[in-house]
Structure 1
Amino acid sequence: MRWSLTQLKKFNQDSIAVNEKVQFKEMTDRKDVTSVDEVSVEGVLHVRNRQIMADLTIETVVNMLDSRTSEDIQVPLHIEAEEIFDEDAEEADDLAENVHPVTHTLDLEPVIKELIIVNIPFVITKSDEPLSGGKEWSVTDEESLENERTSVDPRLSKLKSLLDDSDNKEE
């Protein structure tokens, strides 16, 4: 998915359809991402004087480790993006997120790779079970928490009677 700017200039004020499939070998260094399936890229390139606007739809499946069980699960990704490639923009400029400087060739692969990486979820699980606890911790609901607060340690029950007496004296 690489075009030279002179090749694209032939389509000035016109549009070019994009329908490609790409396989990335190395996607990210995250340990929970095991692999990324073939990436389907569809869209349209709108060629203007000094800018090329790309309306892209990216679909793929990311194979990840379940955050609770460490089982391999598949996470489908559907990304819609509008990216602008500008000949007048430079790397040093403060550009918007979707504006990319371009000099001699327009290469969509790094942009597609970045869009996929940004859209991979940080935590994913296929389990619908609520967490109940783990080693040295547990989940407590509000009702049982209230019961714990109202119950008095039997060793401190005599002190509670002193507290009750001080409340009566203040009235």
Structure 2
Amino acid sequence: MKWTLSQLRKFNDEAVEFDGELNIHDLTDRRDVVSVESAYVKGEVLVQRDQFHVQLSIDSIINMLDSRTSEEIQVPVSVESMEIFDETVDDEDDLAENVHPVIHTLDLEPVIRELIIVNLPNAYTKSEELTASGKDWTVIDEDDHLHESAEKVDPRLGKLKALLDSDEKKED
């Protein structure tokens, strides 16, 4: 997904459609991202003088580690974006969010990579229930906790409970 600007200028005020699969290796250095299964990109480039408006639709499947179980799972990522490549802008600090400087070639791969990375979930799991436990602790429902705490009496307060029970018997 790379064109020279002279190739694109032949289509002045026309849309150039494209679609295809992009091979992306080493997407990010995040430990939970294992690999990119596939990245299908389609869209169009509208050529207008010194600007190139690119409408992108990205559908990819990312192999990630499950946040709870650490098993490898497939996470679908879909992104829709409008990116503008401008020849007249030299300084990236003066650019708006979706405007990119371009000199001789229009290369979409870095933008596609960035869009996929930004849209990756921070934590993802396919598991619906909490089955976590560890040394000396487990995850329990709130109802179970309330039931357990109502039955248990702190041993340090056992004498006070006995005193309270004896006061109740005296009142009867």
How does the TM-score come out when normalised to structure 2? 0.81
Structure 1: how far apart are the matches of 2:91 and 2:26?
Answer: 24
- Give, in angstroms, the shift of residue 78 of structure 1: 1.4
Distance 1:62 1:156, change over 3 A: same
- Aligned residue for 1:137? 137
- Contact 2:38–2:62 (CA<8 Å) still a contact in 1? no
Which is worse superposed, 49-58 or 29-38? 29-38
- Aligned residue for 2:154? 153
Structure 1: how far apart are the matches of 2:136 and 2:115?
Answer: 39
- Give, in angstroms, the shift of residue 139 of structure 1: 3.0
Structure 2: how far apart are the matches of 1:47 and 1:158?
Answer: 85
Structure 1: how far apart are the matches of 2:14 and 2:65?
Answer: 44
* Number of residues of Structure 1 aligned to a counterpart in Structure 2: 163
List aligned pairs for 1:8-87, cutoff 5 A: 8-87=8-87
How does the TM-score come out when normalised to structure 1? 0.81
Which is worse superposed, 21-30 or 138-147? 138-147
Structure 2: how far apart are the matches of 1:121 and 1:89?
Answer: 32
Letter of the 1:43 counterpart: G
Classify the secondary structure of the residue corresponding to 1:46.
Answer: strand
CA RMSD in angstroms, aligned pairs only: 2.3
Pair 1:100 & 2:100 matched: yes
Letter of the 1:50 counterpart: D
Structure 2: how far apart are the matches of 1:22 and 1:123?
Answer: 25
Letter of the 1:74 counterpart: Q
Distance 1:78 1:92, change over 3 A: closer
Q: Structure 1, unaligned stretches of length 5 or more?
A: 163-171
